[in-house]
Every structure is written in structure tokens, then in C-alpha cells.
Structure 1
């Protein structure tokens, strides 16, 4: 390391990167998996510079010259900030550059980072070094200018001036971009109040120009009559107002819906506002009594910004970061719709409990017919893809009919109730969590889920049984042959078949259907589906204006439920065929259809079934249902928590609270009280909106 410092001292004015690359290589730990070794290297360099002030001065001169000899603006305005191309263009660019990296130009400082920090783990060892150690190193370099001759010191001041000019130019570019993004029509449509007064996105640019004009006048003034310089407080106030508008737009999207493009713009706005604040903090040299930050704070901000830029450079082709930055808000909107719908899936009192049972019973009645129709389609011996289409339409149209009639499929509840539970976690750090309220909410969810499953099974099983028996009386032979009946029983056997694995696949389908439904709910709100349908002249001529308006209102409310049920049917109807075509053991098992198949098999075998088979089949149906519910609920809760960025750390206390509640009042987990415990605002009954999906 001392040899390298001597080499730099011999030619401190060189503009090549070789010495800087060698210095970073010496600081970088030999083993990438042990970044803490970099602490020793940084401290060693600091100690050497303290012992050799001349080397510290020449190193400072060399680094300043390297900075001033290159264009820096793009480093501050582009690295760590999403491009203007949009989400999918940015995704394509990152994927393409991971395969074939772009060409580099040493004239740009942002491209020089590729040579200085070529490994995508460099930011790890740099962040492993404590801030105090980096601050000590920078302090040695900053105080080393006294060791330089007057000529070199003059060049250093010129280099600093060039770097300062580049930062000011970057500030101006960021301000223009904030103005352009902030007045995008889509953002103004969501938050139209921006039109009611002068937009802060435009006014921050006006204030910034005033500040920069004063700043440049101050820099160009002579030492005898220096121009006064105001601090950046007015600009920072305008940036705070911009951030407030961004927050309001985000809240509005929860009510009006959002899109990937809007989410992408909001993320870019956040990134530009944050970067502009940091750069302003670095260059602000107002009066000491008015200065926004002290010299020590500036050093900390500069260090944090440098580490942020290096990390962003190392991860600039990472697809995961792109998704993490954009998907959370979109997922929040999707699960927010599910949360509101989930309230209709929670029975507060016995009246709503009875309504939920009736709603689930209606769905069970229809599913009994759907099971028979599916078996009829299988008798056609159609080609695999044709059979998949017939199965899918049977499921899709049946589930959509259940939705239109406001009935409830029990297994579709978890996707909504999981989002409702996530909404109950009020604090992202969990400190302000009301454990008693959350326990009460989960108890309500459990008993509502119980009565929904009960309603499905107690009606679907006898309906299928009566249909199969009626077919035998009318046709003179059973609806299913003994071999087919044995096959139906085998499919629900949890011990000798893959019934539980197939039930888990069905749980994943339920979860995906919930996401699809939430997506279309969000899309219907964002695109103002009701108004679009009402403006369709051809539809008004066909149905009449009043009916068209009612249709538009219905679609805006129910589009998510209809599409979720439609795609859920497609998933259930095609997965078995996909497994057959690929030669993989992939299929689905659903609790209600398993119960109806059990009933049909009993009739087909003339009830010549042992008690052990009945017990195993009954256990299999319940186990399939448990797997359906657990998988869909777990996935939905995981996505809901991630979308809200909730870190839940109270699992064990919550479990103890639930156990204590079960020991104290076990009946509450199955039967609600006569009246709601709290005087909450009345919500629509489960029977009215129970089919809406997450």
C-alpha cells in the first residue's frame, strides 16, 4: 500500500484510472465472503496517510483531478434512479445487459465505476466499514491540502470548482425531471387538486432557479465584495410539498386504483426528490446561522450518498430490485380491494352467521350439479385439449353463476380474509399492535370459515347423492360404473394417492384467482369502468341507456369477482390436462368437489363400502379442505404483509392469545354471539357480496 502511495506521489496529476483501481483492490478484502476484513485495510490506509502527510496531499490531488477530468452529472442523475423508459422497457434493458453488458466510456464518471468496482458485491465490504472509519480517512485527505505547493493547491481549487459545477448541473437536471413527472396527466387525474393552485412540482423549479442564480452570482463575485447567499430552505420547503402530494396520490390510488405506469412514476418521483435533497445538502453554503446542515452532517450525507451510488451501480442490472421498487404499491392496491371485500366474509353476529350458511349452501347446491356435468363431459372421451376446455367452461361458468347469485365458495374466503387480517396489523414495526383486537378478528375469521365449509358440504353432498340416485331410478343403471366409482374414492384417499399434494395445487390456484380478481378490481376502479360502459353507444342502443348505466355500475363493482371466478375455473379445468400432456403427476383436489365425488361413488357402488373406506374418505375430504384453505391463506397473507411492508414479530404471543381464548370460550370459534361485540359500522351481509374474490 505504501508503494502505491509513492507511485501516486510521483505523478499525482495523471488522469488514468490504474492507480485508483489498484488502491480499491488493496482495500477490497481478499475473500468476498469476509467483508469485515476491509475495516483493517481502511484503517491501515488512514494510518499510513497520517504518518505521511505528503502522500495524503498527493492522493487528494490525484482523486480530485480524476473527478474533474470526467463528466459527473450522469452519476448523480441516473445511477440509482429508474430510467424514463417505463417498467417493462427497464426490465428488458436489465435482462439484456446481464447477457451482453453495454460499452463503457471513460469520459463519464458513472462508467468509471465499472472499472473501480467491477464486482456486484463491492458495496457489501464498503458498507461493512464503520462510518467513523470512512470519516477518519476523509478527514485526513481533507486536511492534507496544507502540504501541497501553491500551484497544486490552485489546481485543487479549480478541480473542486469543476466538481461543484457538475453537482449544480445535476441538481438542475433533477429539478426539471421532477417538474416533468409531477405534471404527468395520469398523476393529475388521480389527484386533481394539484390544478387548484400552483403545482409544487413547478414551483420547486422556480425556487431552485432563483437559488442557483444566487449561488452562481456568489461564486463569480470577487473576494472584495462577495455577493450574499441565501440558504436552500425555500427549495427544501417546496420539495416537502412535492413529497406531500406524492403521499396523497398514493392514498388516492387505494381508492381509485393504480397501474404499473403510475406506480413506476411515483417510485421515480421519490428517487428524484431524495437525490435532490442530498445534493442540495452537499452544496448549500448559506450563512452559518441559516445553513440547513453542518459540515459534519455534510460529510455524513456525502458518505451515505457515495455508498448509495456504489450499491446502486453494483445492483443496476438486478431484476429483483426493480420488482421490489414497483410491485409493492401495486400489490397493496390489489390486496386493499381484497381487504375491503374480506370484511363481507366475516360474520359478526348470528344473523350474519346464518346468512353466511345460506350463502354457502346455495353454492353447494350448484356445485352438486357441476360435479355431475364434469363426469358427463369425461364420458365424451374427447381429445385432451377439448376435454380441458369443457372442464374449464363447466368450472368457470358455474363459479361465475355462484358469484352472480351472491353465493359463497368456502375455499375462496382465505384470499380475502388474509388481506383483512393484514389490514389489522396497524403498525409496520408491530409496536402499536392491538393483540386482543387481532385475536378477536382471527376468531371471527375461523368461525366464519367453519360455517362456510359446513354450508358447502352439507348441501353439496346430499345434492350429488340425490342426483346420482335419481339418475339410477330413471335410467336403470348407475351414473358411474364400479371402476369409475373406485377411482373417485382413490382420488380422495390421502394415504394411497397424491390427494394432499393435488389439494395444495388447488390452494395455489385459489390464491392466484384472488390476485387476478384483485387486479381486475383495481383495473375497474382505475379505468372508471362504469363511465366507459355508459358511454358505449352501441351498448346503449342494444340495452337502453338506463340498463347500460346499471351494467356499468355492476361491472365496476363485480368485474374482479367475475374474472377471478372465470380464471379460477380455467386453472382447475386445465391443470390436470397439462399434467397429462407433460407426463407429470399434476392435478387438483377441491374439498367440495371431493365431497360430491364421494357421494356419487357411494351410489355407484350400491353402498357396498366398508366403514374403513368411509372413514378414510371422510378424513380425506376434510384433509383436502384443510390443505386448500391453509395453502391459499398462507400465500395470501404473505403477499398482503409484503405489500404493506409489515414485519410481524408477535407470532408466539398471538398463538398464546388464541389458545387462551379457545380454553376460555371454545364455542366462540364455531358459533358467534347473539349480537356483535362492537358497534361497528354496518357492512353488507356475506350473502350480498360473498363471492367477490381477492
Structure 2
């Protein structure tokens, strides 16, 4: 502080930031997230300024000189606002900046701000320090200048320029063709995006006049706020339309950029109006914390990947959540319908497991096995979907997205949300039972029929021993392989959501109907029926196709590269146990039976646990659900289990007791 005081005494126009960087460094705690130490450091600075009024004046003069001698505009309009770049362009620029940092322009506060809070985690302590402590420092320095003089005029003028830039940006985004495509009414009626710009310009002109003529009173921003609310209503309508018609990454990025610009404009307008009421200090603290966080993450490749992943995952899980509605049962009738549906899938899986064993007897290279296995899996899973059956392990990725969507909607009480989760788990339980209940007897019947027809076992003793080893949770990699299958299930859920979204957003059914050669080949009625089916089922069909390819190729990739990777799926494992049982002529000890059945159960738990956890994490992160909410929901689920464990497995005895949640 003494050096700052000497510097300002010798040169009242002193604007170098070296001393200011040292001051910020002295406030920064040794352990970057030690909020208590940071708070103590700021309190110590406040105490020193109270004891040394000369230091107080010197620091105020110095800070104001640093600010007024540079352009404030870009800090207010660019920091914390998503840039209009695609992911790859932004990622390339971020990586290049790490090797060759961008040129620092000393005339811009935006660049100086980044030098002051140069530690990439400064936001942890800046945002952690209580507002009251920051307010004490600001009020002690009287850093918010009085409504008079050149300093006030300079800072206010920069803020007004930022308001205008943000307003023009909102107008430009509001006229983007992608927004108009999703909400044509923007063109039919007077656009709030254009009207707010007219109001902002009038507001800025009158406010600027008030800076030179004290008799002129600036208008409040009430009318602008009304128009900004209308702009936000349009954004919400576009999002609702996109939830039905599909959404692109570019549209999601535009809506995010638009929302951020509206929020920043509102923040600055509130700051300008608050200068009249004396509440500018609190708003300045909020803005400081927001800007420090945004600046710290400005060159973060990790943050870039995370933000774009959120956009992509929101795009896919939104559609997956709609599919998940079909996997949740509310009453006994639906619970039994789920049982029958999954039993049908178990029947088909029994034949799929048989075909895989037959393919395994061929003399082929890994590529040949991968091709045949993928064809078997994909065809079988698609057949399951076409026949309206259900694979139990396909549920988690869909139902997790549904749960996250319920959280995101904000209209569900936590108790109702917990009941939804109970229904999801109950539906998952009966789905597993249904798959296994028919997969095992189907495989058992096929094995005996094969023996009766050909006189040899489909799975000879050597093959049977191999099948049993594959599901042994202790002496094999069954559980890690089950986790790999869980990842595949999770990815297939995302793929389903992505292609459901693509079918709607890209108008694939309507575009297919425009193909004259297809119209001549199928005729009008068949073409309409086929394209309607594709529009409704493209995501499920594509997800099953890729899921089959993943299951069929991963094991062969392990063989090709010499890696211990493979997949284990509960339904196929249960069918393989039946083949092994017949192949060994039931000569199986009770220890082997117990180990195998335990392995099947654990494989299923890992399948479901991994896929559900990954899908839930992505769905929650895409909606930025806080950790506190997650912990609260987890505690409520546990209490719900202790109070009624039966409800997690069986439907209520009377339908009147079922949840009122609709799906």
C-alpha cells in the first residue's frame, strides 16, 4: 500500500498495473480454495485502510485511474458470453492460445482483468468470500463514483456503450434464420428483439444527456425489461417447439448466447438504475464474481468441451427422456404388461445366443466374427423393437433422461420425483425378471431340441466350461466386461436420442416423401406408412443397430489387439448358462450353479448400474443440476426404501395408491 501511495503522489495519472497485481496476489490465499483465509486477507486490507486514510485515498485514485484510462466495453460485452464459433474452431483457437498466448492489449480492461486474476481458479476464493466483506471494501474505498465529474461520466459512458452493443447483438441473434425457422411468428408480428433495441437507444440517449445536463433525469429501464421478458418468452417457445421438432447444436448455442446477452444487458441496466438509488455496490459485487469466473474459464479447453458436451447431451437426452416414458409403469396392469413385453424379448435372445454359439464354431478371422456377431446382435435387437418387446438393459439410459427432465421441468415436487424414481426401479426389476424368465427356458429347450435332432450338444463340454467361466464373477473378468456392456448401453441410449432428434429437426420423413423414385417404387400409401414409421422409430432402430455393432465388435477388437476386453450381458449370460447346463448333461455341482447364478445377477447389476449412472450424470449435467439437489434426492430415496421396500419391486396392491405422475 505504501508503494501505491508513493506512486500516486508522484504521478496522479499513474496507470501501470504491476502494483495492482501485487495487491490482488496478497489477497489471494495460499490454498486457492481457502475462502476463510481470503476473507481474512480482505478484512485485513479494510482495517489497514481504516487506520490509514491516506492509503485509502491513494488506492481509490489509483483504481479509478486504471479503469478510466482503458476501455471497459469489451469486458462487459464479451467476457462470459459464448462466442459465435463452432466447437472445432473454438477448440483449435484454445489450444493455440496455450502454446502462443494472445497479445495483451494494455488499453483494454478485459485484458488487464485477466492479468489481475491470472490464476485459473481465482473464482473459487473470489466467489466464496461473502458479499458483505466485498461491500465493506467497496464502500470503504468509495469506489462507486458520485453522480458528477469526469470519472463518473467516463465509466457510465462505457457502460452505456456496452448496453448498446448487447442490445444490437440481441437484435441480430433474434433475426437469425435458424430462430425464424423454428418460430415463424417472429416475422409475422412486431419482433421484441427489434423493439428492445429502439427502447435501449432512447434510454441511452436520455441517460447520456443527463450526464451533461443535470436538469435531465434519466428514464428507468422498466419498458426495456418488459421487452426483454418478451424476448425470453420467444426463447422459451422456441425451446418447447424444439423439444417436439428437434434441435441442432447451432440453435442451442444461439439460444444460449441470446440468453447470456439478455442477462448481461439486464445486469448492466440494473447497475445504471441502481446508481440513482445507491444500490450499485451490491450489483458490482455480483458482476465482479461473474466476470472472474468467466475470465478464468475463457481459455479452458476442459470448460469448452464441457459446455459443448452439455449442449450435445441436452440435445440427445431431451429426446431420450421422451422415449423413457414408455419404460415406466405406474400400476399393476402396466407392470404386468412390462413383464410380458420383456418375456418376448427373452424368447428372441434365446435364439440370438444360439446363433452366436453357431457362429463361434466357424473358422474366421476376427473381422469375420465381428461382422457376423454384429449382424446377429443388431438384427435381434431391431426385431425386439419391431415386435414391441423390451430388453431390460435398454431402459436405464432412457429412464435416467426422463428423471433428469422431470427435475429440469421444475414442476415436480421432490416427493413426486422420488415416486417417479421408485416406479423406474420397479419397472427395471420386472423387466430383468421377464428377460431371464424366458431366455433361460428358451435356451434350455433349444439345447435339448438340438441334441435330439443332431445327436450332439450345441455346447459341447469344452464350450460349456468356457461359457460357465465367462459368467464366473471370481475367476474371470465377467464384471469388468459387464461394465463395458453398460457403457455400450449408455452410448446406445445417447445415439437413440440423437437420431430421434435428427429425424424431427431435419424433417427426414417429409424429405423422403419427396423422392420420386421411392414414390414410384412403393406407392403413395406405402411410402406414407414407411416414412411415418421411420420418423417415429429412427432413434430406436439406429440405437439398436449401433448397440449390436458395439457388442459384436468389442470382443474381437480385444482379440485383434491382445487386450482383455469383451462384453457380458445379463440376458445372454442367462441363456448361455442353460446351454452349458444341457451341454454338461446336468452334471454340475451346486457350487458351480450358485456361482453361475450369482455371476448372472452381478452382471445384470453392473450392466444396469453403469448405464444408469452414466446416463443420469450426463442428463443431470446437461441441465446443470446442483450437487446439493442430487444429495437431497439420494437421501429421500433411501428413506423411501426404508419405509416401503416392497414398492421398489412390486406395484401397489390397489391402483389408487399408484403415483399421480403422468408419463
- Other-structure match for 1:376: 358
- What whole-Å deviation, never above 9, does each CA across 1:527-569 have from its counterpart, x for those lacking one? 2222222222232122122222222211111011001111111
Offset at 1:179? 0.6
Cα distance change on mapping 1:609 and 1:114 into 2, 3 Å: same
- Of residues 399, 421, 430, the one that matches 1:417 is 399
- Paired with 1:620 and 1:26, the residues of 2 have a C-alpha distance of 58
Contact 2:60 2:143 in 1 (8 A): no
The structure-2 alpha-carbon separation of the partners of 1:670 and 1:232, relative to structure 1 and needing over 3 Å to count, comes to: closer
**Greater Rg by CA:** 1
1 CA distance for matches of 2:171 and 2:74? 18
Please name the residue that 1:433 is paired with: 414
Per the TM alignment, residue 82 of structure 1 is displaced from its structure 2 partner at its CA by 1.1
Q: Which residue of structure 2 lines up, in the alignment, with residue 149 of structure 1?
A: none
Cα displacement (A) at 1:682: 9.5
Aligned to 1:43: 43
Name the count of aligned residue pairs.
Answer: 659
Q: TM-score, normalised by structure 2?
A: 0.91
Shift of 1:60: 2.9
Residue 398 of structure 1 aligns to a residue whose secondary structure is: helix
Of the candidates 483, 495, 498, which is equivalent to residue 474 of structure 2? 495
1:278-317 alignment runs, 5 A limit: 278-284=267-273, 294-317=276-299
645-654 or 512-521: bigger deviation: 645-654
Deviation at 1:495?
2.2
Q: Secondary structure at the match of 1:434?
A: helix
Question: Which residue number corresponds to residue 669 of structure 1?
Answer: 649
Stretch moving more, 95-104 or 330-339: 330-339
**C-alpha distance in 2 between matches for 1:119 and 1:545:** 65
Q: Is 1:484 aligned with 2:463?
A: yes
Distance 1:36 1:193, change over 3 A: same
Give the alignment of 1:119-138 within 5 angstroms: 119-138=119-138
Counterpart for residue 555 of structure 2? 576
The alignment status of 1:247 with 2:227, answered yes or no, reads no
List aligned pairs for 1:175-254, cutoff 5 A.
175-221=167-213, 226-254=215-243
Q: What do the CA deviations read for 1:32-75 (whole angstroms, capped 9, x no partner)?
A: 45453343443344344444444433433333332232222111
Relative distance call for 1:29 and 1:372 in structure 2 (3 A) is closer
- Tell me if structure 2 keeps the 8 A contact 1:258–1:330: no
CA change 1:42–1:459 in 2 (3 A) is closer
Distance 2:466 2:621 in 1: 41
Seen in structure 2, the aligned counterparts of structure 1 residues 613 and 145 have a Cα distance that, compared at 3 Å, is: closer
Corresponding residue for 1:337? 319
Query: How far apart in 2 are the matches of 1:33 and 1:179?
Result: 40
Q: Which residue of 1 aligns with 2:368?
A: 386
Q: Which runs of 5+ in 1 are unaligned?
A: 147-152, 285-291, 684-694
Deviation at 1:10, TM superposition (A): 1.7
For the residue of structure 2 that corresponds to 1:36, the secondary structure is: helix
Aligned-pair distance for 1:351?
Answer: 4.1
Question: What SS does the aligned partner of 2:278 have?
Answer: helix
Post-superposition offset of 1:426: 7.7
* Structure 2 residues not aligned, in runs of 5+: none
Alpha-carbon separation, structure 2, partners of 1:561 and 1:98: 41
The question of whether the paired residues in 1 share the 8 Å contact of 2:408 and 2:623 is answered with no
Asked if structure 2 preserves the Cα contact closer than 8 Å seen for 1:424 and 1:438, the reply is: no
Query: Partners in 2 of 1:113 and 1:188 — Cα distance?
Result: 37
Cα distance in 2 for residues equivalent to 1:163 and 1:199: 31
Q: Which residue of 1 aligns with 2:634?
A: 651
Q: Which of these residues, 509, 513, 524, is aligned with residue 534 of structure 1?
A: 513
Q: Is the 8 A contact 1:472 1:479 kept in 2?
A: yes
Q: Aligned partners of 2:67 and 2:317: how far apart in 1?
A: 47
* Residue pair 1:370, 1:398 contacting (<8 A) in 2 also: yes
Which of the residues 330, 350, 363 maps onto 2:345? Answer: 363
CA distance in 2, matches of 1:67, 1:682: 56
User: Is the 8 Å Cα contact of residues 421 and 438 (structure 1) preserved in structure 2?
Assistant: no
Matched, 1:18 2:18: yes
CA shift, 1:358, in A, is 3.1
User: Would you say the 8 A contact 1:533–1:551 is kept in 2?
Assistant: no
1:14-93 matches, within 5 Å, as 14-32=14-32, 34-93=34-93
Aligned partner of 1:97 in structure 2 is: 97
Decide whether aligned partners of structure 1 residues 170 and 416 sit closer, same or farther in structure 2, where only a CA change above 3 A counts. Answer: same
Query: What are the Cα deviations for residues 449-476 of structure 1, in whole angstroms up to 9, with x where unaligned?
Result: 3433333223222332333333333333
Is the Cα contact below 8 Å between 1:367 and 1:593 reproduced in 2? yes
> In the alignment, which residue of structure 1 is the partner of 2:254?
265
In 1, the alpha carbon distance for the partners of 2:144 and 2:82 equals 38
Q: CA RMSD in A?
A: 3.1
For residues 419-452 of structure 1, give each alpha carbon's deviation from its aligned partner in whole angstroms, at most 9, with x where no partner exists: 344455588699x3225x744x455444433433
Partner SS for 1:589 = coil
Shift of 1:316: 0.9
**How far apart are 1:332 and its partner, in Å?**
4.1
Q: C-alpha separation between the residues in 2 aligned to 1:144 and 1:637?
A: 45
Q: How far apart, in 1, do the equivalents of 2:145 and 2:401 lie?
A: 60
Write out per-residue CA displacement over residues 471-527 of structure 1, whole angstroms, 9 at most, x where no aligned residue.
333333332332122111111112221212212221221122112111211222222
What is the alpha-carbon distance in structure 2 between the residues aligned to residue 209 and residue 33 of structure 1? 42
Distance in 2, matches of 1:588 and 1:378, equals 15
Deviation, structure 1 residue 299 = 1.6
